[in-house]
Structure 1
Amino acid sequence: MQPQTHTTQHVPNVKPEKSMKVWWMLLRPHTLTAAFIPVTIGTVLALMDGEVSIGLFLAMLVASILVQAATNMFNEYFDYKRGLDNENSVGIGGAIVRHGIQASTVLNLAFSFFGIAALLGIYICIASSWWVAAIGLVCMAAGYFYTGGPAPVAYTPFGELMSGFFMGNVIILLAYFIQIGTVTLDVFVISVPIAILVGAIMLANNIRDLDGDKINGRKTLAILIGRINAVRFLAGMFIVSFMLLFLLIGLGTISFWTLLVLVSIPKAYQAVKLFQGKTEPIEMMPAMKATAQTNTQFGFLLAVGLFISYLL
């Protein structure tokens, strides 16, 4: 399948406010909390164990959001180049196929975001350790090769695992490390529920896109186990995340104040219910949104609970 051709390669005669919306949607803003939440949790955990630099926190936060946004742009670019996206595709920014933005412009913007993130990374390294540079480069490579390169990870059953590991475990550990100068087993364990929920966002995306992905030769987890089992697996991911919270409280690793996270249970339940019985991508968009909101609510409330325990 070849990508569609377009006679319009820019966005002429578009109102400025609409043009800004095109660029904003290209970032896929609903996914950016997957960068914000881990950095915040890692920093709060660092605050509980020592002093925190606001400058380092902000630099790490902006760099992580830029890498996540660039990853979304690579997704948009490479799916277009492989002929997977068209103007009717659901869940994409649509800058290329719907609004006529040059594909090369999207690609260059993604690399520009990587460049700015790298500059912020230099500041972080100077203030902490140059080991951060190596980890940052690996994270950028993961973002690029998720949909880029000859064998994109997004086409395999390992997309959920990879996204959860890098955007959950690694970012939390990195945010903690740049503040404290070391990492601990407790911080890694606390990062696991967030990693699972970030992976859940990717699973929800793959459940929505299952039919189209199958036609285009992808072998995602949702395709391998089927839609019904994938929704059950998603429910299992939510359950495990909450059960891990109880386990960590029981072991004394985190405070009972983190039970605030239980407020996010209705959103997780809603996500699963909204997937059930749905087969059309547009019908499953609310379920995918609810999955992302579960990660946001869970992560934010976990950070709040940890911060309250620090104050007390």
Structure 2
Amino acid sequence: MSSVQNQNIKASLNEREGFQVWWRLLRPHTLTAAFVPVFVGTMLAAMEQTINFWLFAAMLLASILIQAATNMFNEYYDYKRGLDNENSVGIGGTIVRDGINPKTVLSLAYSFFILAGLLGVYICASSSWWIAVIGLVSMLFGYLYTGGPLPIAYTPFGEITAGFFMGTIIIGISYFIQTLTITAEVIIVSVPVAIFVGTILLANNIRDRVGDAENGRKTLAILFGHKGSIVFISSLFATAFIWTGVLIILGTLPLWSLITFFSVIKATKAIQGFIGKTQPLEMMPAMKATAQTNTIYGFLLGLSLLLHLNFPLS
């Protein structure tokens, strides 16, 4: 590819030089998927007792580091397998478009894992060393997501894996390190967040469906096809909101949690953004709206718990 073509693609993706190169490597639009479950889990704990701010901060930073490292492993191994090139949309592009040494990206990923591990030592010393086992398993799956002989991201199990570990598991850990216990209600409340995290990956796979199929992937988006994938992501959004409504009716979530339904606006925009689109660049706004749905829902859910704690409606 010529340098002129490369510059045109960078311009269409609004990619800049300098610090922005390293910022893109982190894939910042995905990092809210690390913030949301920690925030929600901690706010659930705040309903029971006063929270430890430093444990919250350590858990949040560790979660963000693991998510960023997972993104870097994705960038590195997709490049090594020849799946990413200068035309690829949605990747950080630091290797294929900006010329960053692949080994540098891999080293950064391992460094982030080490930093997350050090934070994990503090978290375990302040709560329970069982957290270390769960944390190591989570980090292993973060690596295996695109690393290893059979990357999870290349199978139909990517969405459920991401949702489980980045939703339910992180919410559970965030709650446990504050309270030293876990309840069925916490797991039940985590389900919509897990679903929304999974939809971020699904949106990504819908956008990349054609290219992924050509490279031998077997994602859900490929199995369902474009129209089927739109129906599927719509059903996931509907399930998450219905689940939330039921929890409010049953009293598991407070009435304040009705504010989470403001995120329906973004979910609708995401669905509409996929309809009739065929090119990856055309579907970027839909993918962005999907990530924003998770961010807005999760933030409003955590906020609703905080509001209930200070201004209960019943």
Give unmatched runs, 5+ long, in structure 2: 4-15
Partner in structure 1 of residue 29 of structure 2: 30
- Partner of 1:143: helix, strand, or coil? helix
Rounded Cα–Cα distance in structure 2 between residues aligned with 1:19 and 1:237: 38
Give the % identical residues. 60
1:123-134 paired onto structure 2 within 5 Å: 123-134=122-133
Rounded Cα–Cα distance in structure 2 between residues aligned with 1:142 and 1:286: 28
1:44-63 paired onto structure 2 within 5 Å: 44-63=43-62
Rounded Cα–Cα distance in structure 1 between residues aligned with 2:247 and 2:116: 33
Alignment of 1:205 with 2:204, yes or no, is yes
Rounded Cα–Cα distance in structure 2 between residues aligned with 1:167 and 1:257: 24
* Aligned 8 A contact 1:261 1:301 in 2: yes
Rounded Cα–Cα distance in structure 2 between residues aligned with 1:84 and 1:226: 20
1:150-169 paired onto structure 2 within 5 Å: 150-169=149-168
* Shift in Å, 1:88: 1.3
- TM-score, normalised by the number of residues in structure 1: 0.94
Listed one character per residue, the Cα deviations across residues 159-218 of structure 1 (whole Å, up to 9, x for unaligned) are: 000000000000000000000001000000000000000000000000000000000000
Partner in structure 2 of residue 232 of structure 1: 231
Letter in 2 for 1:174: I
* Aligned 8 A contact 1:87 1:98 in 2: yes
Listed one character per residue, the Cα deviations across residues 100-128 of structure 1 (whole Å, up to 9, x for unaligned) are: 11000000000000000000000000000
Partner in structure 2 of residue 10 of structure 1: none
Letter in 2 for 1:195: A
Alignment of 1:137 with 2:136, yes or no, is yes
* Shift in Å, 1:51: 2.1
1:280-299 paired onto structure 2 within 5 Å: 280-299=279-298
Letter in 2 for 1:203: L
Alignment of 1:222 with 2:226, yes or no, is no
Partner in structure 2 of residue 69 of structure 1: 68
Structure 1 segments of 4 or more deviating over 3 A? none
* Aligned 8 A contact 1:57 1:175 in 2: yes
Rounded Cα–Cα distance in structure 2 between residues aligned with 1:154 and 1:253: 33
- TM-score, normalised by the number of residues in structure 2: 0.94
* Aligned 8 A contact 1:67 1:117 in 2: yes
How many residue pairs get matched? 298
Rounded Cα–Cα distance in structure 2 between residues aligned with 1:245 and 1:98: 42
* Shift in Å, 1:233: 0.5
Letter in 1 for 2:180: G
Rounded Cα–Cα distance in structure 1 between residues aligned with 2:31 and 2:309: 26
- Partner of 2:99: helix, strand, or coil? coil
- Partner of 2:146: helix, strand, or coil? coil
CA RMSD of aligned residues (A): 1.1
Letter in 2 for 1:281: P
Letter in 2 for 1:18: E
- Partner of 1:245: helix, strand, or coil? helix
Letter in 2 for 1:225: F
* Aligned 8 A contact 1:51 1:180 in 2: no
* Shift in Å, 1:18: 2.8
* Shift in Å, 1:274: 0.5
Rounded Cα–Cα distance in structure 2 between residues aligned with 1:120 and 1:266: 37
Letter in 1 for 2:76: Y
Partner in structure 2 of residue 180 of structure 1: 179
Rounded Cα–Cα distance in structure 1 between residues aligned with 2:298 and 2:57: 18
* Shift in Å, 1:262: 1.1
Listed one character per residue, the Cα deviations across residues 79-107 of structure 1 (whole Å, up to 9, x for unaligned) are: 00000111111000011111111000000
Letter in 1 for 2:138: C
